[in-house]
Structure 1
Amino acid sequence: MDLSAQTDRNPGSNHGNKFEQLETILPSPNSYRSASGAPGPNYWQQRADYEISATLNDETQRLDGSETISYYNNSPDPLTYLWLQLDENQHSKNAESAKFDGSKIQEKMGMKQLQDIMGHNLDLGNHIVSIKDATNKALTYTINETMMRIELPVTLLPGQKFRFHINWWYNLSNRLTTGGRGGYEYFPDDDNYLYTITQWYPRMAVYSDFQGWQNKQFTGRGEFALAFGNFKVSLNVPADHIVGATGECANYAEILTAEQSKRWQQSQISKEPVEIVTLSDAKKTMQQHSKSKKTWVFHAENVRDFALVSSRRLVWDAMATNIEGGKKVMAMSYYGPEAYPLYRRYSTKLVAHTLKSYSKHTFPYPYPTAISVEASNGMEYPMICFNYGRAEKDGTYSEATKNGMTGVIIHEVGHNFFPMIVNSDERQWSWMDEGLNTFCQFMAEQEWDNHYPSQRGPAHKIVDYMKLPKNELEPIMTNSENIVRFGPNAYAKPASALNILRETVMGRQLFDYAFKTYAKRWAFKHPTPSDFFRTMEDASAVDLDWFWRGWFYGTDPVDISIDSVKLFRVAQSADTESLNNRKKEERDRQNISSIRNKSEGQKFTLESDSSLQDFYTTYDRFASTPSAKQAYDELYSKLSPEEKKLYDSNNYLYQLSFSNIGGCVMPIILEWIYTDGTTETEKISAYIWRMNEQNVTKVFAKTKEVKSIRLDPYRETADIDESNNSWPREYQPSRFELFKQQTLPRGSTEGGNPMQRKVN
């Protein structure tokens, strides 16, 4: 459905719709959110602090925890209940989300596909043991799928705090078979587990000024809306495990060996990654399987979530990184032996690069650490993310695997900025974190390697999606759960749109200033789409409502056609005689009324009243027509110097007619190829379509003869049909490829492995 079409003020017309302002679509500004896109003078948001203790059982893959939550009501509203998220309930055998998706039998099906159809009898999901207030009094609660409502014993008034305790446990799921972002992966060759612990504790839902409680159910796709707060987390795990987590570890001195402590100190000043836990250490530990326990303690301030990795089969390296403003951040990576050939060389340096690139385009990275974990996955949390990138058993890897790893590390580390700091509601608007982050990822990829094959960001990469039938598309401004092609819609199309804004519509200087303004305004706050749209215009003085309508509220593709090209030359002496002949023809050609009046004997007043007759009554202005040369010389002599210069220039005037076949208005970018071999690129603002959104004609004056014309020569606008982009028309060959379809880890890519062929 085209959302922008629902608000057309001039439906059925060829103008007055696509350039209409968004006032009727965007929410009205108020004291919480201003018309400029900045937080208003009365902006507020809630806060939730956590103290968590958890124990990991490596024998049963179970996690037991207790937590104390301090919830601060900074809103102007009195609250009688609180909503918490229980995301692990999405894995429950009775979860509603496991039943409402369609399914069908295919010729080849994997275990997860069959399990999704058949269901499971595993005891998965949150088990709430008790919920008590600060006085140890039991609280009443209700669980609805992945959401839990706690009844408050007394109304929580504005400015008050409520402190309560929850005891809980759940069985960790096999992430590779059950699916999901967190859980475990088992390695049978060495009988060890890799635990990625995410969405693991009952956590506060967001209560905001624009929607109240965000208690939309978690079904697995739409991610998270969370409040900021401080965390103190104690993790009791097998003594030979290495733990990486959100925040800073408070007890390395107790946990690390003397040698590891020394390496950790070295990493604080090293310009190269230092292995705190080496590959040799990890391989040795993998054989031990300690039965004793150790407790790791982490602190994190002003974060919206907490995640961790725990395993005995991890290499851990770290390197100090100085970002914009001179702040030191510890860039770190955790990875197994199978990822060592790639991660040891690239991961931590990619973390550091990402922090520097994003800081340049948004704001200086504020946290003390940033971690990349290889987990055959792709998912993000504050200061820690889980990525893809394993080599073959012989240590080789394909270029596609390397590029895929590069992209996913940049992407997931980049999520620290969107939405971990610029804290949009992922469950409602996936594009506000995935799309903005993918755009920044594209810039970081290109800054990493000028030849990096970015798959999302360049305008032409979104063409195949935008040319799909309308009934297979939905606007970017669509709820996460309702998007059919999630990757193109929430990631690629917004990234392409922002790249077009930066490179083609606004220009880098205006765009970069406005984008950075948005990021700084909404760091550690909860922005909405209207805050983004308004800020981009407010900080640039560029009217972009037509762009938001077309790219974010609509599904029309870009398809501009050069329909015709006509050449005109300035009329000179040879044309004067033709002009006089045409005027004489006009004199002799009578209109039908004149002819019939005369045939009916009409008495004409001028003929019957001689007093009305003068010189011009009998004068024939064409009887003594001067020669063409005389007429031109007389005309030329009366011209001003500027007019004579124009006539003498003998310009080529090219009249081009364009049609907007796709419907999405965009700038017209032309490349003129002249007969002398030179070229010229010219851009016409999208506003050329404002009086007629379907067809426009424009004349271009050129001093040289044109051989050919090409529309959108650098493929800047995502035009879906390039066969009508040239004059004269050019032949456009089509191709297709055969490929082997397979399921790959999230964030990965496929391709051949010439490194392996060379080695073997």
Structure 2
Amino acid sequence: MGTSFAQQANNPQAKHGNKFEQLGTLISDPNVFRAASGAPGSQYWQQKADYLIDVAIDEEKQLLHGKETITYTNNSPDELSYLWLQLDENEHADNAENKRFETSSMRARMSAKELQNLLPKENGLGVNILKVTDATGRALSYTINYTMMRVELPQKLKPGAKFSFKIDWNYRISNRNEEGGRGGYEYFPADDNYVYTIAQWYPRMAVYSDFQGWQNKQFTGRGEFALAFGDFKVNITVPADHIVGSTGECLNYPSVLTPGQLGRWKEAQQADEPLEVVTLAEVNEKLKTKSTRTKTWQYEAKNVRDFAFVSSRRLVWDAQKVKQGVQGNQPMAMSYYGPEAYPLYRRYSTKAVAHTLRVYSKHTIEYPYPVAISVEAANGMEYPMICFNYGRADADGTYSEATKYGMIGVIIHEVGHNFFPMIVNSDERQWTWMDEGLNTFCQFLAEQAWDKDFPSRRGPAYRITDYMSLPKDELEPIMTNSENINQFGPNAYSKPATALNILRETVMGRELFDYAFKEYAKRWAFKHPTPADFFRTMEDASAVDLDWFWRGWFFGTDAVDISLDNMQQFSLPGSPSAKNAEAKSKFNKELHSLSRQRNIAENMDFLIDSDTSLVDFYNKWDRFAVSPKDQQAYDAFYASLTPQEQAIYRGDYKFYELEFTNKGGLVMPIIVEWTFEDGTQEIDFLPAYIWRKNEERVIKVFAKRKAVKSVLIDPNRETADIDESNNSWPRNQRASRFELFKQNNAARGASAGSNPMKESLKK
């Protein structure tokens, strides 16, 4: 699937017959499991994995202990001899592959931290598998290969059969800020407390699918995961003064919450505004002491592909019911955050969660789960019903505009992952763009619905041009495995999101795109789609042939650079008098010379003026006069024309021939903006198909009733054209400017910037 278009050209020696051919061998063939329409086939199947887990956090030793029972259902037509499970925590182990396959080099000046990172580490991290047995307690043979574990079955698991087995394990919880990765703890020295974001923490089933068998590609930290759907029952034992937020619904709030908290929880279930279930005052009081007892929180989640939770005594918890915008379901939108995030999260987080559910439900499927949670954890990562985000204020409670919009954006993005890939369950290990790209596109829709001036970083076409204009040897197609991508963010997030926005706004139009995109989400909700299923559904539901678009944007590295190289004006002379006037003008031009002009200017005495005997018929003859015969013939011809033909002969229309070249290689629609002499404007839209017979150069004639002053292509910057200097005729000469002094303020929405809120407090 990662093969580049250049290797798949049908007609490599020609300027046509390549970019508009169907995808053919670039995508998998349809079959009984995946239909040619892009829908699940008549015999589509997928596996199921149910979990019963007991997990405990030892806060003193920073250990996580777990016991689980997995019931695996083989819905495939195949007999299975073994099962593959993922052990993601092994990415931190001393022998992890990802600690060895990155390049490194020495420089003339290096920090102590950089040198320390080059030293071999013995950190004792990684999963310790204590026991693997069947349901009766009989030991099962297993093999661990880095982040993958193969469990041998005592007998082949036949189609339709189930197998239950048990695993006991533990691991040392890592410091997320030091070791990186998704799960772990963050330590707060000011109050000597921890926030545990426990993610990718239990041995979990890999996907076995119709299109690739076992997905057991190693986890190296980037390509995330592919997981089976199932039902979870999880008992979480933590210090008694901790608050837990988790995937699923809590079954025992009455036994783990105080009476006041339980009352506020019941009140929040009807609230239109976020209501604090655990208050900031309660958190500040709890930080004074630490409980030595434990409590067990009981959670249940149905039809999810994963499970994660947060636990800490330093968590404020607020919640509200999402009563509108999610038909047939009124989920609880909730947030968990520490005191340092209170000024931002109390005001924005839960409302951003609710807003995300409404917008995504409009464009995909109705949100099906009972809760959606945002946790402030100084990072960004997603799991079913819960996600971890950033967004902390300064000590005085102020924050920059960049922090505010960055926080809202990341909350929308991570909550949005509930839809892609937690529900529309693509394989992130293989095709990162199918979750990150589709989700980033929907994030853009939600951001723009939040505030018309929201400073979205990804989505608008012009924001991807710097990346697409890089040298080809620095780029990869979107259809590239995640571990092999150089610039991960632009490739897997920005470019596919931009491509979808261009499809919606420019190529297909909102109505056709929205219907097809929603159809894809409905078809593949709680299933495992591939890129071919997405590509086929978008075409099947819209009747728009998009193979040329997928080829260019997803399988290639060409950029958009359409140049307007020339414009010529043509007009019809019309009546005999008009024709003769044009002929006279041409005749006079032919007589014109510099000598003649200067002779007249000097009042030269011409011989023919002084010797009249030289004057004959031709000196008095008007060669451009219209004869009665010519006029009569024209009048008869004109009367026989249709009104539109008469308008042409009157000279009401002017014809403009535009010449375009495709310098970037990526075929796209041509959008032409005309500015007329009277100051008015109009736009013509040429579909991308105009390039089908010549992918490098096209000429198009336009008829206009007004005289044209100038022409501009892509006036709204909607095609991601990397070079706007060749988009106008006549060429616009842009003056180069210099700054008297360097401006230090960062642009709105940038990752770093000034804090005017703080400055205002000083006045």
Instruction: Flag whether TM exceeds 0.5 (same fold).
Output: yes
Identify the residue that residue 203 of structure 1 maps to in structure 2: 204
Q: Which residue of 2 aligns with 1:596?
A: none
The one of 639, 645, 648 equivalent to 1:646 is 648
Paired residue for 2:685? 683
In the alignment, what sits opposite 1:401? 403
Question: What is the Cα deviation at residue 18 of structure 1?
Answer: 0.4
What's the CA shift for 1:645? 3.5
8 Å Cα contact 1:405-1:748 kept in structure 2: no
Aligned CA distance change for structure 1 residues 342 and 579 (closer, same or farther; 3 Å)? closer
Q: Which residue of 2 aligns with 1:439?
A: 441
What is the letter of the counterpart of residue 354 of structure 2?
A: A
What are the equivalent positions in structure 2 for 1:164-563 lying under 5 Å apart?
164-322=165-323, 323-563=325-565
Give matches, 1:72-111, under 5 Å: 72-105=73-106
Aligned partners of 2:341, 2:183: CA distance in 1, in Å? 19
User: Quick check: 1:67–1:166 contact (8 Å CA) kept in 2?
Assistant: yes
One-letter amino acid of the counterpart of residue 663, structure 1: G
Q: 1:123-202 to 2 correspondence within 5 Å?
A: 123-202=124-203
Give CA-to-partner distance per residue, 1:352-391, whole Å, 9 cap, x none: 0000000000011000000000000000000000001000
Deviation at 1:641, TM superposition (A): 4.7
Cα offset, 1:291, TM superposition: 1.0
Q: Percent identity between the aligned chains?
A: 65
Q: Judging changes above 3 Å, is the alpha-carbon distance between structure 1 residues 462 and 36 closer, same or farther for their aligned structure 2 residues?
A: same
User: Is the Cα–Cα contact under 8 Å of residues 402 and 751 in structure 2 kept in the other structure?
Assistant: yes
Letter in 2 for 1:199: Q
Q: Which amino acid aligns with 2:59?
A: D
In 2 relative to 1, CA 119–183 (structure 1 residues): closer, same or farther, beyond 3 Å? farther
Whether the aligned pair in 2 keeps the contact of 1:577 and 1:627 (CA below 8 Å) is no
Structure 1 unaligned blocks of 5 or more: 582-624
1:217 alignment partner AA: Q
CA–CA separation in structure 1 for the residues paired with 2:112 and 2:145: 29
Q: 1:6 Cα deviation (Å)? A: 1.3
| Equivalent pair of 1:389/1:748 in contact (CA under 8 Å) | no
2-structure distance, mates of 1:35, 1:109: 56
Match of 1:67 in 2: 68
1:630-679 deviation digits (Å, cap 9, x = unpaired): 66446435534542243235201110000000000000001111111111
TM-score, normalised by the number of residues in structure 1 = 0.91
Report if the CA contact (8 A) 1:710-1:725 is conserved.
yes
Q: CA 1:394 to 1:198, structure 2 compared with 1: closer, same or farther past 3 Å?
A: same
Alpha-carbon contact 1:557-1:720 (below 8 Å) kept: yes
Query: 1:64-109 CA distances to partner (integer Å, 9 max, x unpaired)?
Result: 1000000000000000000000000000011111110112346887
Aligned amino acid, residue 460 of structure 2:
P
In structure 2, distance between residues paired with 1:753 and 1:343: 18
Q: Retained in 1: the 8 A contact 2:286–2:314?
A: yes
* 1:584-663 paired onto structure 2 within 5 Å: 629=631, 632-633=634-635, 635-663=637-665
Structure 1 residues 687 and 457: alpha-carbon distance in aligned structure 2, compared to 1, 3 A threshold: same
Q: 1:695 aligns with which of 684, 694, 697?
A: 697
TM-score, normalising length: structure 2: 0.91
Structure 1 residues 736 and 130: CA distance shift in structure 2, 3 A: farther
Aligned partner of 1:588 in structure 2 is: none
Cα separation, 2, equivalents of 1:220 and 1:190: 31
> Which residue of structure 2 lines up, in the alignment, with residue 54 of structure 1?
55
Q: Secondary structure at the match of 1:296?
A: strand
Higher deviation after alignment, 647-656 or 37-46: 647-656
SS at match of 1:24: helix
Q: Displacement, 1:25?
A: 1.4
For 2:391 and 2:58, locate their aligned partners in 1 and report how far apart those are by CA, in whole Å: 27
Partners in 1 of 2:215 and 2:488 — Cα distance?
21
- In structure 2, the residue matched to 1:35 is 36
Indicate if the aligned counterparts of 1:2 and 1:555 stay in contact, CA closer than 8 A. Answer: no
Mapped partners of 1:748, 1:719: distance in 2 = 23
Tell me if the contact between 1:239 and 1:292 (Cα under 8 Å) persists in the aligned partners.
Answer: yes
For 1:733 and 1:68, the matched residues in 2 are separated by: 70
Shift of the 542–448 alpha-carbon distance from structure 1 to 2, 3 Å rule, reads same
Q: CA deviation at 1:324?
A: 2.5
Q: Which residue of 1 aligns with 2:706?
A: 704
Structure 2 SS opposite 1:372: strand
Alpha carbons of structure 1 residues 53 and 723: separation in structure 2 relative to 1, 3 Å? same
What is the DSSP-based 3-state SS (H/G/I as helix, E as strand, rest coil) of the residue aligned with 2:270? coil
CA–CA distance in structure 2, aligned partners of residues 683 and 284 of structure 1: 64
What amino acid does structure 2 have at the position aligned with 1:18? K
Please report how far the alpha carbon of residue 345 of structure 1 lies from its aligned counterpart in structure 2 after TM superposition.
0.3
* Contact persistence 1:670–1:713 (CA under 8 A): yes
Evaluate the alpha carbon distance shift between residue 430 and residue 110 of structure 1 in structure 2; reply closer, same or farther with a 3 A threshold.
farther
How much does 1:17 deviate? 0.4
Which residue of structure 2 aligns with residue 720 of structure 1? 722
Number of corresponding residues: 713
In structure 2, do the counterparts of structure 1 residues 36 and 739 end up closer, same or farther at CA, with 3 Å as the change threshold?
A: farther
